[in-house]
Structure 1
Amino acid sequence: MNKMKLALVATGAAVLLSNTALAQNIAVVNGKPVPQARVDALVSQVAKQAQPGQPPMTAEQKAELQKQARDQVVLREIFTQEAQRRGLQKSPDYLQQLELSRQGLLIRALFQDEEAKRKINDTDLKAEYDRLRAQADAKEYRARHILVETEDAAKKLIAQLKAGAKFEELAKKNSKDTGSAENGGDLDWAAPTNYVPAFSAAMVKLQKGQLTDEPVKTENGWHVIRLDDVRETQFPPYEDVKPQLEQRLKQVRSAEFVEDLKKKAKTDYKFSTEQQ
């Protein structure tokens, strides 16, 4: 009798475990179960790709994402089974791509692990903010320019401007810089370091409202420059740029990590590492 009871209990447990396993599967394709875990992994991957500051998904959006993920996972299983039926998993190209994918996943895990070990705190961010602020130019300039192909063309424009022509109109008609031409040559507020040296050197010598007496040559062509205004640099508040600072520091630390690993590795290159 006791043996019979044990057998019944064992049978019941097996059925329960079987039902639990089935509940964890979203489908069965040609006899092969497709686990819910694949859906969860795909949803998690999509969530990680969300942009910083993006609002959280609504309940409806989450439900739709789950549905799309389930459909995608089942379809992938169908495709995978067909590829295996054709023996494609044995092809050299597949095996090579598989190895590259394996390396890619490991490398991503490595950088995530390194980032977790070197967490960026407020002290780091404020130090970077102060460093960038100290390096910033003291003044910003608002200038206009007209960019043309030749020095003669630039000289003619300067003569017209000195004779009373409007800078904005000449810029719209003649400037090769299409980005600023429509705005009458306006370059908006910018630090001198935003421009090539020859341009910024000529610009900072001007007084408000003054025009360059001679054309300015750069690799882009010949410029006629007018300085409209000057102001103290408007450096953004710390809280406004905190996300960008964090992203910048992550990139800097990532680059340092790469260089450190390259230095530590005993690598015998079989090719030239010099740039052509």
Structure 2
Amino acid sequence: MKKLSVAACVSLAALSAALLAPLAASAQNITIVNGKAVPKARVEALIAQATKQGQPRTPELEKQARDEVVLREMFLQEAEKRGLAASPDYKTQMEFARQQILIRELFADFQKKNPVSDAEVTAEYEKFKGQSSGTEYRARHILVEKEDDAKSLIAQIKGGAKFEDLAKKSSKDPGSAENGGDLDFAGPNAYVPEFSQAMVKLKKGEMTEAPVKSQFGFHIIKLEDTREAKFPELAEIKGQIEQRLSQQKLAKFRDDIRAKAKTDYKFEN
């Protein structure tokens, strides 16, 4: 058996490489559209974008991404063939898109490099918890427009009528009337001053002897119960606190950029 010469081996290697090159190229592409390759990398980029927004990677998503990428290539080639890439409108929109994407990346980069720490979350939680301590009141009320109507209802309740029934029938507060005037548990700060001042003076089961006037009309208030203010555990609201603090950091970052920029432009607010 004859041995191949060095030159022959080199020729065979070159031939093999030439034959395998199209196969390697096709492995990197989905398909060819009008002689132009559509790379698989576009599909992966589209899928990555979808999964980042919360969509699970499924065979259906992969198929949709492949279809979308190939269709985009077809439409893109047609738009370029018609010379639309040279139009002023296209160039303006591309500039706006460039600005938007770059600014979005700026803020995303800041948030990535400045995450909210557990210590910051705990400190914010303790601050809110401290502000929410105290007594919560469960009250009912009947809201009417005229003082005389309120006095008449008070007389009816003292005569034996049920507070809840009169609230359903006569109260102008759509949020509580159907529930017999029940406002559930809340702190005094949840109400207008005139209402809360009258409410906190009541004992359990007591009702205001006279109508309480506020900007909404005249109230008859009955105190059902009190309790110490409850506050959720940190684990229950940690995500909300993190989001709030992250938004605050981003807002400060934006304000700092605006403050140090040199310009004579005056913002209205």
Quickly name the TM-score band, shorter chain normalised: 0.7 to 0.9
Which of 126, 141, 146 lines up with 2:142 in the alignment?
Answer: 146
Q: Do residues 206 (structure 1) and 210 (structure 2) align?
A: no
1:204-244 Cα distance to aligned partner (Å, 9 max, x none)? 233222223213313x4443332221111111112222222
Please name the residue that 1:110 is paired with.
106
Please name the residue that 1:247 is paired with.
243
Contact 2:198 2:212 in 1 (8 A): no
1:161-190 Cα distance to aligned partner (Å, 9 max, x none)? 333322222232333433332222222222
- Report the AA paired with residue 68 of structure 2: Q
User: How many aligned positions are there?
Assistant: 264
Contact 1:143 1:225 in 2 (8 A): yes
Which of 121, 124, 132 lines up with 2:120 in the alignment?
Answer: 124
**CA apart distance, 1:151:** 4.1
Please name the residue that 1:165 is paired with.
161
Please name the residue that 1:273 is paired with.
268
1:134/1:205 Cα in 2 relative to 1: closer, same or farther (>3 Å)?
Answer: same
**CA apart distance, 1:252:** 1.5
- SS of 1:178's equivalent in the other structure is coil
Moved more, 167-176 or 41-50: 167-176
C-alpha root-mean-square deviation of aligned residues, in Å?
A: 2.7
Which of 218, 223, 232 lines up with 2:219 in the alignment?
Answer: 223
Q: What CA distance in whole angstroms lies between the structure 2 residues aligned with 1:197 and 1:75?
A: 63
Please give the TM-score of this superposition, normalised by the length of structure 1.
0.82
- SS of 1:267's equivalent in the other structure is coil
Please name the residue that 2:229 is paired with.
233
Which of 17, 22, 26 lines up with 1:18 in the alignment?
Answer: 22
Q: What CA distance in whole angstroms lies between the structure 2 residues aligned with 1:150 and 1:32?
A: 79
- SS of 1:187's equivalent in the other structure is strand
- SS of 2:256's equivalent in the other structure is helix
Contact 2:32 2:38 in 1 (8 A): yes
Q: Do residues 178 (structure 1) and 182 (structure 2) align?
A: no
Contact 1:216 1:224 in 2 (8 A): no
Contact 1:140 1:192 in 2 (8 A): yes
Whichever of the two has the greater Rg, that structure is: 2
Please name the residue that 1:27 is paired with.
31
1:198/1:19 Cα in 2 relative to 1: closer, same or farther (>3 Å)?
Answer: farther
Which of 244, 254, 267 lines up with 1:258 in the alignment?
Answer: 254
- Report the AA paired with residue 213 of structure 2: V
Q: Do residues 67 (structure 1) and 63 (structure 2) align?
A: yes
- Report the AA paired with residue 128 of structure 2: L
Aligned-pair identity (%) = 55
Structure 2 unaligned segments of length 5 or more: list them: none
Contact 1:155 1:215 in 2 (8 A): no
1:71-128 Cα distance to aligned partner (Å, 9 max, x none)? 2222333333333344443444433332222222112211121112222222221111
Q: What CA distance in whole angstroms lies between the structure 1 residues aligned with 2:238 and 2:71?
A: 42
Q: What CA distance in whole angstroms lies between the structure 2 residues aligned with 1:15 and 1:176?
A: 85
- Report the AA paired with residue 21 of structure 1: A
- SS of 1:182's equivalent in the other structure is helix
1:118/1:145 Cα in 2 relative to 1: closer, same or farther (>3 Å)?
Answer: same
Please give the TM-score of this superposition, normalised by the length of structure 2.
0.83
Q: What CA distance in whole angstroms lies between the structure 1 residues aligned with 2:267 and 2:166?
A: 52
Q: What CA distance in whole angstroms lies between the structure 1 residues aligned with 2:87 and 2:170?
A: 60
